[in-house]
Each structure stands twice: as structure tokens, then as C-alpha cells.
Chain A
Amino acid sequence: MEIPYTVEPRPDTGLANGKLGIWLFLASEVMLFGALFSTYILLRVGAIEWPHGELSVKLGAINTVILICSSVTMVVAWAKLKLNDFAKGRLYVLVTVVLAAVFLVNKYFEYAEHLAKGEGPWHSTFFAIYFTLTGLHGLHIVGGIVVMLYLAGPGAGMWKSNPEQYANRVEYTGLYWHFVDLVWIFLFPVLYLL
């Protein structure tokens, strides 16, 4: 038995199953982060005073640049696969993984600095929402790394059996990755600058 439209799009909807699936998943992710951003707004509006300048803008800005670069490398990886260049495609997926890892290392230094000063999530509602939002975002980064390592490693065999489906998988992972990037682009000003 074969499920129709796993690779090629259905003519009347113009979509393959996986692409519709990943967009629906992202819609639910918007609701998840939307609820947390709403929480941020409500806590901040209700607070007597809200701390400013607690976070390192420099580290945050570096991480923003890293994530934007990683989104670009992800698109390049997909484009290379579409041009039938598997070696380059896989290379760019791995570059994306490296950039994501650098982001997490930066995040680790940031967390360690605050925890050393006793500014853990228990310290104030600001640090509570900071750790929750960036922690959940960090988990999404980790999830992305796992998927990309799978695509570059054990999952790469699919390029031989079904190259179109493999390129699709990289594309869907890319859509997810852009979303993770986009969340950070909201997080950076909201937590570091405002």
C-alpha cells in the first residue's frame, strides 16, 4: 500500500502531504509562542517596575546574526540539492548545524553568567519569563539540530532511493528552521532591547 501525494503535490491543492503538515505544525507553534509572548505582555503590564539592561545586548546581537546566517545556509542547502549537488547540499546542512551549536554555546555562557549572579528563574518575573522563553526556544534549536544531523547522517541514504523526497525533507526542515529563527528575531528585541 502506498499513500498518495507523499512526494508529488496533489494537483487541486498544489501541496504535498509533508508541506501541508509542516505548515500546520508551524501554525500550532505560533499559538504556543503566542501564548508565552502574551504572558510576557501581561506580566510586564502588571509589574510595578520592569528591569532594563539586565541582559548582554552584545551576546544577543551576535546570536541574532548567527541564526540569520544559519537560515541562509539552510536555504542554500536546499537549493544545492535541487541543483542535484548532494555533496554541497549535505555540507550546507552541516554548516547550519555548526552555527546552531555556536548559538547554543553562546546561550550557555549567557545562562552561566546569570546563574552565577543568582539571577535564576526564581529571581524575578523578568528572569522567569526570560529563562522560559529562551529555554523553550533553545529546545527548538536542539530539535532542529537532531533532525539536521539525521538528514546529513543516517537519513542521507534516501538521496539515492528517492532524491526528490530527500530534498523535500530538507525543505520542510528549513521551513521549521526559519520559524525558529523568526521566534528569536522577536525574542531579541523583546527581552534584550525594550
Chain B
Amino acid sequence: MEKTVTGTAHEHGHAHDHAHEELGFWRKYVFSVDHKVIGIQYAITGLLFLLFGFCLMMLMRFQLAYPLHPIPIIGSWFGDAKAPMGIMLPEFYNQLGAMHGTIMVFLGVVPLAVGGFGNFVMPLQIGAPDMAFPKINMMSYWVYFLGGVTMLASFFVPNGAAQSGWTSYPPLSVIAQGGGQTMWLIGMVFLITSSLLGSINFIVTIVQLRAKGLSYMRLPFFVWAQLVTSFLLLLAFPPLEAAGVLQLMDRLAGTSFFLPSGLVVSQKPLTVAGGGNPILWQHLFWFLAHPEVYVLILPAMGIVSEIIANNTRKPLWGYRALVYAIVFLGFMSFIVWAHHMFMTGMGTNISAFFQVTTMIISIPSVVILTALLLSLWGASIRFTTPMLFALAFLPMFGIGGLTGLPLGLAPSDIHLHDTYYVIGHFHYVVAPGTIFALFAGVYYWFPKATGRKMNELMGKIHFWGSFICINCVFMPMFIQGLGGMNRRMYDGGMQYAHNAGLLKWNLMIGFAAWGLGLFQIPFIINFFASIKWGALVDRNPWEATTLEWSAPSPPGHGNFLTEPIVYRGAYEYSVPGAAKDFTPQFEPERA
């Protein structure tokens, strides 16, 4: 393989390309084509959106903890249309719910995991000077930015932002008054376009720009995760784009793609042609949104694998099994979508099919989790901050995954559907799962991006506080959900007798959520203070083996000072007989 990869890359002679021409401020930091700058732009925008989405959720949590109480201090900011006298209106609660989901998934986690880490780390890990299409890369960020601005602006139009849930199910979403839903759809078209540009760029970069000697089976697992993720984005997002166009037509051109005949709204028959099908939206939406779940989780698994291998000082257990599992997982994720739709009456045969595929897709997930868990066996683990977050990912993702099984089976799903159990389940996957992995990644690659380390003590405060609080937020939701508490009630469902014993948990969840907010403060301080005052580090502070650590910290434009050549697999830690406990990919064989 090494021989066949000898391309013409080195003939260009990278060494003399590194006379960095000085760019002005705007071209260097704002409209940059450098993958590292774009990656950092994505990461910071993504982190800000995560914080904003979290603030929306804290407002909702106050409403649930103290229904019909005025919001303290900031209650008067929202105006009479949203919260008269500071008391939240149900319409505002619905807007917060819909936008919390949309922002966290499409503007927070994916841009941070794929746009941020993928952009910054992946080209470095494969030894590329940049992405294959740097200008398209820049465009992808700015289209994403426009999508974000559209979503934020929608809060200020008459009737406020979209309020039909992040899933925007018709007919409710089609007949919703005001411009919020239309802006949501336009914002989604921007975000989908951005993902599309990004994913093409990622795949071409990984296939075409791997360094000499870097065969597929020597790729770091993070790169594999990004490759599979990009394929999911590339092929799953277009159907949602189609669905978005159809819903825009329904709202603006008066079509009835999603409106059945004979629909009555507010005691008046709707004057549309009819003949449409609301379930069609659900199929198109979940055809994207289930692979999207894996878009959220696969980069997180990639990050965790890198950090676990580095901090156990051992090779990953079962690298090949991990690779095959993640490819199989990506493939299967396209044929499980209708397990979100057991309650639509689509028929028992279809339900049976999707139950089976759903049970099958849990196998590669378990393979990956098991391989990562076995990687810990017998290691003398370095408990650094990134490692703590990565270790916490394993049981958190495990809880999230296992609680998904009853939802994947139609009989138990009928009881649990649309309850807080569902919320608990997918938040365990995404919040203490993915977001913890993303924090791990921030702590782990921060030295590469800035040349300085983040503070360990503040990192540990951040970790333990977040870990305890986040479990106090989501664990009680399983109890509420098993008791049948519905997820969309703006007062928690006070009028239902079966909720009587369950509502008290909302108080605890509320305090845990605010605690979680407080424990992010050390992270924010640490993040900004370490840029200036963090301990200076050399190229390879974690003594890691992958290629990004052979570049200077921070790497200049063009990344590597000499053309990187890869001599071995990605995780050669503690090789018997070697002088050090790590043998980097870029270290030549000794004669």
C-alpha cells in the first residue's frame, strides 16, 4: 500500500511553500480559507449556540418547576406577546421547545462535532495541507452562519419563532400563523446546504489527501467516524431539503402536500385542495433525522477513541472491529427511520420490519462501546480532564443506548411514546454522551489550536459538577416517563391525575439544570483565560501517536513544516521493546 500511495504530493515540495504571505485581518480571521480558522469559527459559533439553546431550556425548566409563576429578574424582557407580567404563555413555551431542539441539534452539536472538530483535526490527522476545497469550506461556514441568523431572527417576527416542535409535524406546522415556521424552513434549507458543502469536502479530503503511507486501516478512528458521518450528511439531508421545499410550498403557494382532505381548523373547514398526507412529512423527516442521530454520536465516538487510546497508553482494543462496526452502523442507520412512527398506524408489517432493523443496529453500537470499554482493561490510566469526560461518555452513552431498546420495540413504545422517558433516553445519548465527548475534545485539542493547555483544576471542577448535575436532570425523567407523563405539556400536565406524584421531580430537575448552568462558568473562564495565560506546551503535550501532533502548535497555514510520511498504524502505544511508551505514526523505522 505504501508504494501505491506515492502520489505527486511530495513533488510539489511543501517545504518551500511555507513562506506564509501575510493576510489582512478580514482574510485571516473572518473570511479565511484555512481549515483551522474555519474549524475554530465553527467550534466557537457552535459553543455559543449550545449555550443559547441551554438558556432556552432553563427558561422552560423554570416554567415546569414553578408553573404560572412570573420568571424572576428577566421576566419583563420578553414583552406581553410572550410573557405578560413575566408569566410565560403556552405559545412561548412551545417556541422555546421547538427552538431548543433545532438549535441544539442543527446549530450546536453538529457544527461543533463535524464543522469544528472535523475541520480542525481531520486534515491534520491525515497529513493534508488543508481541505480539498478551501473556498467551499469557507462558504459552508457562512451559509451555516446565515442559517443561524435566520433561526435567531425568527424570535422577533410577529407570533414569534416556530412552535410546532423541532420535528415540525404537519398539519400543525403548515397551518401555524406568523412567519416563524416559514423562517424555520428557510433556515433549515441554509443549514442543509451548508452540511452538503461540508460533507462533500470532507469525503474528498479523506479519500484524496491522505499522506504518503496512510492507508485506510492506518487512519485514526476519528477520521473513520468523520468519513461515515459525512456520508450520512450527504445522503440523508437531501430528503429533508425536499420535505422543507414541500412544506414551504404548502405554506406559501397553497399546495396540500401534507394537508389531507376535509381538515377542520377552529371550527372552519380549511380551504385547500386537500389530498395530501401528513405521514409523508414524517417519513421524509425521519429519513434524515435518524441518520442525524448517528451524525451526533459518531464524531463523539471518534473523539473518545482518540482520548482513550492516548490516556490508557495502549492500542485501541479491536481497531478493525471498530471500523467495520462504524461502517455497518452508517449503512443500517438509513433503514431504521420508521421506528419513530410506530404510533402513526402505518401497519404491523412495517412496524415489524423496522423493529428488526432497529434491534440489528444496536449490535454495532454495542461492538463499539465494548471495544472502548475493553481498551481500559489492564491500563494504567492517566486521569486527565479530557480522559474524565471521555470515560464518562461510556456509561452515559450506555444508559442512553440501553433505554432506547424499549422504544425500538412497538409494544413497549406504545406506552412510552411522547413521554419524558423519550426525552431522558435521547438526552442521555446526546447531552452527557455527545456533549461530554465534545468537551473532552475541546480540552484535548486546545493545546494544538493555541499552543497552551487548559487549566486542569478548573477542568475537573467543570467535569464533576456537570457530571453530577446532568444525571440529576435526566435520570428523574425516566421515572416521570414510565409513569406516563407527557412531554409537551407547558405546565407539566397538572390536570392529569396520573401526574400527581410525578410533578415534584420537576423541582429537582430545575435546580439540577441551573446547577449545570453554573458549572459551565469554570469552563468559560478556563477557555478564555487559557488562550492568554495557559501553560505553554510543545508540539506533542499528550505524547500522542497521530499525525496532528507532528505539526507545530498552533500549526501555520499549510500545517506541516515537512511533508508527513506515515510508517505505522494510529495507536502504537507501549510497543514492547520501544524506548518510549508511544511510537508516533510519523516516526521513521530504525534500521
Contact = CB atoms under 8 A, between A and B. Distances in A.
Contacts of B17: 1-2
Contacts of A128: 249, 253, 255-257, 273
Given A4-B12, A31-B238, A21 B133 contact: yes
A5 B199 CA distance: 19
B557 interface: yes
A52 to B, nearest CB: 16
A4 B242 contact: no
Contacts of B238: 28-29, 31-32, 34-35
B365 to A, nearest CB: 24
A31 B255 CA distance: 22
A47 interface: yes
B91 to A, nearest CB: 28
A114 interface: no
Nearest to A125: B275
B255 A132 contact: yes
Interface string A13-55: 1010100110011011101111110010011001110000000
B17 to A, nearest CB: 5
B134 A3 contact: yes
Contacts of A138: none
A124 B287 CA distance: 26
Contacts of B254: 120-122
B495 interface: no
Given A4-B209, A32-B242, A39 B7 contact: no
A2 B12 contact: yes
Contact of A10 (B7, B255, B273): B7
A17 B208 contact: yes
A3 B130 contact: yes
Nearest to A11: B7
B277 interface: yes
Contact of A121 (B204, B208, B253, B277): B253
B435 interface: no
A113 interface: no
A2 to B, nearest CB: 5
A172 interface: no
A110 interface: no
Contacts of A5: 7-9, 132, 208-209
Contacts of B245: 132, 136
A131 interface: yes
B273 A125 contact: yes
User: Which residue among B196, B208, B558 has the maximum number of chain A CB atoms within 10 Å of its CB?
Assistant: B208
B192 to A, nearest CB: 10
A24 B232 CA distance: 12
Contacts of A6: 132
B548 interface: no
B500 interface: no
A11 B6 contact: yes
A82 to B, nearest CB: 21
A19 B260 CA distance: 44
B249 A132 contact: yes
Nearest to B205: A17
B395 interface: no
B88 to A, nearest CB: 37
A33 B238 CA distance: 8
A66 to B, nearest CB: 25
B233 to A, nearest CB: 9
Contacts of B203: 20, 24
B243 interface: yes
Interface string B6-19: 11110010100110
Contact of B277 (A8, A33, A42, A124): A42
B129 interface: yes
Contacts of A17: 132-133, 204, 208-209
A43 B257 contact: yes
Contacts of B134: 3
Contacts of B253: 120-122, 128, 131
Nearest to B195: A28
User: Which residue among A4, A121, A124, A136 has the maximum number of chain B CB atoms within 10 Å of its CB?
Assistant: A4
A117 to B, nearest CB: 15
A57 B254 CA distance: 26
Nearest to B11: A4
Contacts of A124: 273, 275
Given A20-B208, A43-B277, A32 B8 contact: no
B133 A35 contact: no
A10 B208 contact: yes
B306 interface: no
B561 to A, nearest CB: 12
Given A11-B7, A20-B207, A32-B239, A123 B273 contact: yes
A178 B12 CA distance: 34
Contact of B235 (A10, A28, A125): A28
Contact of A3 (B209, B234, B235, B241): B209
Nearest to A129: B257
Contacts of B199: 24, 28
A156 B434 CA distance: 47
B234 A34 contact: no
B476 to A, nearest CB: 39
Given A31-B235, A42-B280, A24 B6 contact: no
B284 interface: yes
Contacts of B196: 25, 28
Contacts of B243: 35
Contact of A24 (B7, B234, B236): B234
Contacts of B249: 121, 128, 131-132
Contact of B287 (A35, A47, A125, A129): A35
B5 interface: yes
A11 B9 CA distance: 11
A29 B277 CA distance: 24
Nearest to B556: A1
B381 interface: no
Contact of A27 (B129, B235, B284): B235
A35 B7 contact: no
A15 B208 contact: yes
Nearest to A4: B9
Contacts of A43: 257, 275-277, 280
Contact of B7 (A12, A47, A125, A129): A12
24 contacts: A1-B17, A2-B17, A4-B12, A5-B7, A5-B132, A11-B4, A15-B208, A25-B196, A25-B200, A28-B200, A29-B238, A31-B239, A32-B238, A33-B242, A35-B238, A43-B257, A121-B254, A122-B253, A122-B254, A124-B273, A125-B256, A125-B275, A131-B255, A136-B245
Closest 8 CB pairs of A and B: A122-B254, A128-B255, A35-B239, A35-B242, A32-B238, A1-B558, A31-B238, A4-B9
Given A4-B12, A125-B257, 20 more contacts: A5-B132, A10-B208, A11-B4, A11-B5, A11-B7, A13-B207, A15-B207, A15-B208, A17-B133, A27-B234, A28-B235, A31-B235, A31-B239, A34-B239, A39-B284, A120-B253, A121-B254, A121-B255, A125-B276, A136-B245
